[in-house]
Chain A
Amino acid sequence: MPELDVKAPKITRPPDAGTGKPLSVTGLRKTYGGVTAVDEVSMEIAAGEFVTFLGSSGSGKTTTLMMIAGFCEPDSGSIVVGGRDVTRLAPQKRGLGFVFQQYLLFPHMTVWDNVAFPLQLRGTPKAELRRRVGETLEMAGLSGMTRRRPRELSGGQQQRVALCRALVYRPPVILMDEPLGALDKKLRDQLQTEIKRIQRELGLTVIYVTHDQEEALVLSDRIAVMRDGRIDQFDSPRELFEVPRTPFVADFLGAANFLTGSVEERTSEHTRVRLDTGGLLTARPLANADADGGRVRAAVQPGRIGLCPADTGFCTGTVETVTYVGTLVRVTVRPVGGADTDVVRLELPAGRAPAPGEHVGLTAEFTDVSVFPDPEDAGVHPDAEHRG
């Protein structure tokens, strides 16, 4: 990896800040041969907001983005950018910016010409074009390589050029389709920071598509978690993490532990759940008010479970594995009276690690526990199993 990737010079002055425009999507729908790819997606995005569509493949996130960009036409619904209805406009008439996963720089043009291209299309006067291309390239730390061809650059540099090309004409909304998907972890982290910095400094409205939860959490003001063509929840990362509205969200973002049981008591402040393993767990009120207080699943993030003496807390079990991950310890506990496959995952500070085989009780604040009605179809995505 060329050392030029390592640090980008500090920006001297934001060329023109606050260029982002609001975007609103209403009732967007798209079917492919009877299969519904996007189903009634509606959202309001404020100017200068960084929004991520998060979901696994086939969730409709990319199709939604493509419809906003104009590369595919929605069956119904409308897209309004900065007060202008663009639903039926061709991509080139929408004036949006797009950053592709595969960079898609023009191979026959230099870095400079690639970035100057959108300005040339707009008939920008020469002096201004020169200033803006120069400033944009400088902001991305590419000043030294304006005369190179895309194939002479590393992946990270190419994606920076692609970013410049989308930024340079100050589009009201910039769409990014897994722009860092083809880069390695270290470079990805570094570019995330840069994208976020540039977005803040210029006040850009960005819609970002990814399947990487961590990336979504780092970058976004709000995240739309998508599944089967619908938005499960559209909230800030913190809310998604702490108040998940569906089991899918709880699992996809926080890799939650799920415990089944029946509702024993419901009040407006909390729900008491008698777990199948015998213990009593106090949780937040049931998300769905009219759901009958029958079978439920309770979700708790691994980091929000604490240890207590055996036979106290909501569950008692045997410590199975203890894995050190830096300052954290990942612990699995097999509950007494649970099925063979059920283990509860915990993340504890390294100093409080129990020993394997130890008998422990588990405890959690009721505000950290969400409960959902338990029809089996409440679908945890199969991918969830593979995450560590």
Chain B
Amino acid sequence: MSMAGSALATQPQPQSQPAPTATPGRMSRLRRALAERRTRYGLLNAAPVVVYLLILFVYPIFSTLLLSLKGEEGGWTLHWYADAFQGANLEILLTTLRISAETSLLSLVIGFLLANAVTRLKPLWAGLVMLVVIVPHFISALVRTYGWIILLGEHGVVNNVLTDLHIPGAPFQLLYNEIGVVIGTTSVMLPYTVLLLYAVMRAVDRRLLAAAASMGAGRITIFRRVYLPLVAPGLVNAGVLCFILCLGYYLTPALMGGPKQTMVASLIDDQVMKQNQWNGASALGIILLLLTFAGLLLLRLLKSAGEAYRKRGTAS
């Protein structure tokens, strides 16, 4: 806040209003800034947000962090973190990463195809399709997940159709394994990817593609050299967001997965509800948070790598 104050204080002061010069430098600048009407109103406006964030965001995170570092007999320890990276717990972490990656990839692919199709529709139809994509999001994830369970069960609609079509191997095991988890989670993530990709694709000037065609570029070249680079930032954003959301996702994997598809969120649930083990759960929570940060870092790295690549491409 002192930063904000001093930034505002650089405004010239009227001569007639002598500033308190008792302590020169930073302090006097701050006091002068606080005396200004703009600063006072600014602080007043910022206060509710600051209080809100402190109570509901900063405090819980710090107490979780403290909890994850506390030993069972008091004192500080990294024991809980070591635990999380051992044996079954480590496997669950890796499973979480794997399922998140698979889900992100699938929802990116489906989201790309869907968003791309929607951008080609007339505005009215595009609006309708987007509604169909988004409205399920307003329905409880629990209801949707049970819907999937009914659809994908051994005698569910999907398997019945496949059996009637005499697809070899049908009925398939589509539930309580990784396929089930990925299908269910993808359907939950799809609205995010579609919305993000649709926004980026809408912003692409279609006439650029016509321009490329006029120069002799075929469909595939236009897609690869013009369209894809223009929507790439959206793909990266959507992929990373989807990945981050999957990392902490609980409901669908818990209901549609088998024992091998236990994800970190389920493990936390297990530790708190069954073992009353808050410290271990806190450590897992902090690990998820760090993974999320890692995801965001990856996003930035990818962006700067893309910039560097383009710069290199120019130096011909």
Task: Give the B-binding residues of A (Cβ under 8 A).
Answer: 69-71, 90-93, 95-98, 100, 102, 104, 106-108, 110, 112-113, 116-118, 121-122, 130, 146-147, 165-166, 169
CA of A92 to CA of B314 in the docked complex: distance in angstroms? 25
Ordered by A's residue number, 5 sampled pairs between the chains whose C-beta atoms are within 8 Å are: A106-B208, A106-B226, A107-B230, A108-B230, A112-B314
Decide if B122 is an interface residue (CB 8 Å cutoff). no
B213 near A91 with CB under 8 A, answer yes
Task: Report if A122-B314 is in contact (Cβ < 8 Å); known contacts: A104-B207, A104-B208, A104-B211.
Answer: no
Chain A positions within 8 Å of B230 at CB level: 107-108
Is B214 a contact partner of A98 (Cβ separation < 8 A)? yes
B217 contact set on A, CB distance < 8 A: 92, 117, 121
Contact in complex: A92, B316 (CB < 8 Å): no
Contact status of A92 and B225, CB under 8 A, knowing A106-B208, A113-B314: no
The complex places the Cα of A113 from the Cα of B210 at a distance, in Å, of 18
State A169–B211 Cα separation when bound (angstroms).
Answer: 14
CA distance A180 to B217 in the complex (A): 25
Does A100 contact B207, Cβ atoms closer than 8 Å?
yes
* B13 interface hit (Cβ, 8 Å): no
Q: Do A147 and B314 contact each other (CB < 8 Å), given the known contacts A102-B207, A104-B211, A106-B208?
A: yes
Tell me the bound Cα distance from A197 to B210 in angstroms: 27
The residues of B that contact A90 with a CB separation of less than 8 Å are 213
Interface size class of chain B, counting residues whose CB lies under 8 Å from the partner chain: 20 to 34
6 additional contacts (CB under 8 A) given A70-B214, A95-B216: A91-B210, A97-B215, A98-B215, A108-B310, A116-B316, A117-B217
B123 interface residue (CB < 8 Å to A): no
Residues of A within 8 A of B24 (CB): none
**Complexed CA–CA distance, A147 and B316 (Å):** 10
With A107-B230, A108-B229, A112-B316 as known contacts, state yes or no: A121 contacts B207, CB within 8 Å: no
Residue of chain A at shortest CB distance from B315: A147
B200 to chain A, nearest CB (A): 13
CA distance A369 to B208 in the complex (A): 48
Query: Nearest Cβ distance between residue B239 and chain A, in whole angstroms?
Result: 19
- The interface bits of chain B over 215-229 (1 if a CB of A lies within 8 angstroms of the residue's CB, else 0) are 111100100011001
A117 touches B205 (CB 8 A): no
B307 CB, nearest partner CB in chain A, Å: 11
With an 8 A cutoff between CB atoms, is B168 at the interface? no
Give every chain A residue within 8 A of B259 (Cβ-Cβ).
none
B216 in complex: contacting residue of A92, A100, A146, CB < 8 Å: A92
Q: B283-316: which residues lie under 8 A (CB-CB) from chain A?
A: 310, 313-316
Shortest CB distance A195–B (Å): 18
Taking a contact as CB atoms closer than 8 A, the residue among B213, B216, B218, B310 that contacts A169 in the complex is: B216
Contact call A121/B221, Cβ cutoff below 8 A: yes
A104-B207, A107-B230, A112-B316 as given contacts; A92 in contact with B213, CB under 8 Å: yes
Q: Are A92 and B214 closer than 8 Å at their CB atoms?
A: yes
Contact A91–B214 (Cβ < 8 Å) = yes
